[in-house]
């Protein structure tokens, strides 16, 4: 039986000092993404950083290719980020 992984936390903050679009902290299951990116680039960076967390042994080139391929597929299938009112309750999907 596999051990359940802890939930990944995604934080949106400006990463100008880090000179990065995103970064993943493997021990903390934390992904940070610069909110100034366009929607498609945000999806690509999110996929890229998640690949880092899921497969920490992959090279940067392998992670980059996997993140781009996954983001391209999701974008082509019309997956988009939906911004809700911060006080709104998200819809329940069953």
Domain boundaries, the chain: 9-76
Assign domain 9-76 to its CATH architecture: 2-Layer Sandwich (3.30)
| pLDDT score at 6 | 80
Q: State pLDDT tens for residues 23-72.
A: 999 989 999 999 999 999 999 999 999 999 999 999 999 999 999 999 99
Three-class HEC string of the chain: CCCCCCCCEEEECCCCCCCCCEEEEHHHCEEEECCCCCHHHHHHHHHHHHHHHHCCCCCHHHHHHHHHHHHHHHHHCCCCCCCCCCCCCCCCCC
- The yes-or-no verdict on residue 3 having pLDDT over 80 is no
Q: Which of 23, 22, 28 is nearest to 8 (CA)?
A: 28
Q: Look up the pTM and report it.
A: 0.82
């Amino acid at each position: 039986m596999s051990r359940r992984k802890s939930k990944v936390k995604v934080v949106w903050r400006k990463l100008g000092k880090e000179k990065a679009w995103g970064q993943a902290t493997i021990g903390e299951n934390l992904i940070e993404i610069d909110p100034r990116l366009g929607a498609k680039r945000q999806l690509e960076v999110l996929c890229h950083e998640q690949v880092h967390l899921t497969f920490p042994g992959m090279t940067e080139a392998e992670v980059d290719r996997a993140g781009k391929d996954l983001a391209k597929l999701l974008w082509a299938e019309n997956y988009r980020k939906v911004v809700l009112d911060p006080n709104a309750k998200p819809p329940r999907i069953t």
